Amino acid sequence: MKHKGFIFDMDGVVVDNHAFHFKAWMEFSKKYNFPLNAEIYRDTFNGKTNADLFRMIFGNISDKECKQYGDEKESWYQDLYRKEMKPHTGLLDYLQFLKENHLKIALGTSAPTMNVNFTLDTLSLRHFFDIIVDGTQVSQGKPHPQVYELCAKQLGLNPKDCVVFEDSLAGLQSGKSAGCSIIGVATSHTKSELKSHVDQIIHDFKDPTVFQL
């Protein structure tokens, strides 16, 4: 393997769940009366922290208000996704392969802690990850590189020795700006939408190229 550290975004990478987030956001937009459709969601919501999103929607609201809105929206999302949740195709075998080869693994996500716990514990994935950085641990969300810089630092690695798996354009920019190698995962965007941002694109973790990174 060329890399020493493997960093995974969560939504759209560990789980292919964007349809369920979108449904929850649409319910939220109806209740609070702000414009939202699939195009807006895809282009401006993916990769951002809840705090960034709620201040984009409601203006300069407090941290407490951000958390209240976040808890409400994520409760809707979890209710929608709980019975449908599964790891992205090929992920379990790939994580096991990385572990068996003594490579370092991190989760780097803009998601709130409640969704990280919901995903990792429901699917029993937590033991695979050496470190976890979520949206509550960063002051600047993607596309800022902070989340991936922090992942590399906590792994004890130079970012150039790490590869990031990302599905959102903001996340791809974040990983690239941090100095990591980038693999685009074509879940929330098509290959044609991703190709100008990355050198390599996969649909899922059954792609044999991931075993050569």
Q: Which domains, and CATH codes, for the chain?
A: 5-15+86-212 (3.40.50.1000), 18-81 (1.10.150)
Read off φ and ψ for residue 184, nearest 5 degrees: -85, 135
Residue 134 has a pLDDT of 96
Tell me the average pLDDT across 105-123: 96
Terminal C-alpha separation, the chain: 5
CA-angle at 23, arms to 202 and 26, nearest 5°: 125
Residues 73-108 pLDDT 10s: 999 999 999 999 999 999 999 999 999 999 999 999
Residue 1 has a pLDDT of 74
The DSSP call for residue 203 is S
204: left (phi over 0), alpha (psi -120 to 50) or beta: beta
Confidence of residue 132 (pLDDT cuts 50, 70, 90): very high
Residue 102 has a pLDDT of 97
Single pTM value for the model: 0.91
Whether the predicted pLDDT of 188 surpasses 90: no
Q: Rounded distance, CA 142 to CA 146, Å?
A: 8
Is residue 185 within 8 A of residue 171, CB to CB? The reply is no
